[in-house]
Amino acid sequence: MGEFHVMDHPLIQHKLTIIREKDCGTKVFREVVSEIAMLMAYEVTRDMPLEDIEIETPLVKTTQKTLSGKKVAIIPILRAGLGMVDGFLAMLPAAKVGHIGMYRDHETLEPVEYFVKLPTDIQERQLFIVDPMLATGGSAIAAIEALVKRGAAPSSIKFICLVAAPEGVNALHTAYPDVDIYAAALDERLDENSYILPGLGDAGDRLFGTK
Ligand code: PRP
Ligand code: URA
């Protein structure tokens, strides 16, 4: 079974509270989402493998550590996932970025795919899907499906969100047991419109100032 990690680092928790506030404006919302994403990138890369390399400092030859293993791709689910890309790139500047356009139909609540553009070698990469909200899990599951259809192994995918609902975590684990989920918070539940409670509202609208 994939693991579910809640990142209880005090900085992440503090910053999440700032963006939950309804009076937090677009500028601060955007900045703080990016800061949280950077801190989360630090945590989700904790198990990256290292190998020894020989280098020369100005004084001597020495054996030191360098990252080994798969290269990385960051895959934001549009729109709101875009807000987490810069934070991830700050930690992983050489990562490639793929985009998956997906929105929840407001009537059916089903995800609708409208754009997919990915690095050609996703099957060889460690994939980090980023999206601030995991509500019903429909968008996350459809995004993973889009990657698997193009050759990615579920075990090479990690899903990273800011706020998760228990319903979304269960749905995602049931659909893709090999995908690890990372969240800054596990909230209480979904409301009758499948918004997360207490949540932070509509992440895309808050990030881009739309309504
Ligand atoms: C939001 C959010 C997720 C999705 C989560 O996107 O960014 O992608 O809803 O809900 P789910 O788990 O029930 O699928 P939205 O559909 O509002 O699109 P947007 O980012 O373009 O605003
Ligand atoms: N999408 C959002 O942006 N917010 C929610 O609470 C649920 C889905």
- 137 within ligand 2 shell (Cβ under 6 A): no
Full-model pTM:
0.96
Delimit the domains of the chain by residue range.
4-208
Q: Is the pLDDT of residue 103 over 80?
A: yes
pLDDT tens profile 14-66: 999 999 999 999 999 999 999 999 999 999 999 999 999 999 999 999 999 99
* Class (C level, CATH) for 4-208: alpha beta
Looking at ligand 2, which atom is closest to the CA of residue 195? 6
Quote the ligand 1 centre to 205 CA distance (angstroms): 10
Closest to 209 measured CA to CA, from 18, 26, 24 = 26
pLDDT of residue 28: 98
Q: Which residues pair with 54 in a beta bridge?
A: 63
Q: Which tokens belong to 97?
A: 């970025």
pLDDT tens profile 58-92: 999 999 999 998 899 999 999 999 999 999 999 99
Q: Is the pLDDT of residue 1 over 80?
A: no
| pLDDT-derived band at 122, boundaries 50, 70, 90 | very high
pLDDT of residue 135: 97
Does residue 108 have an active-site annotation?
A: yes
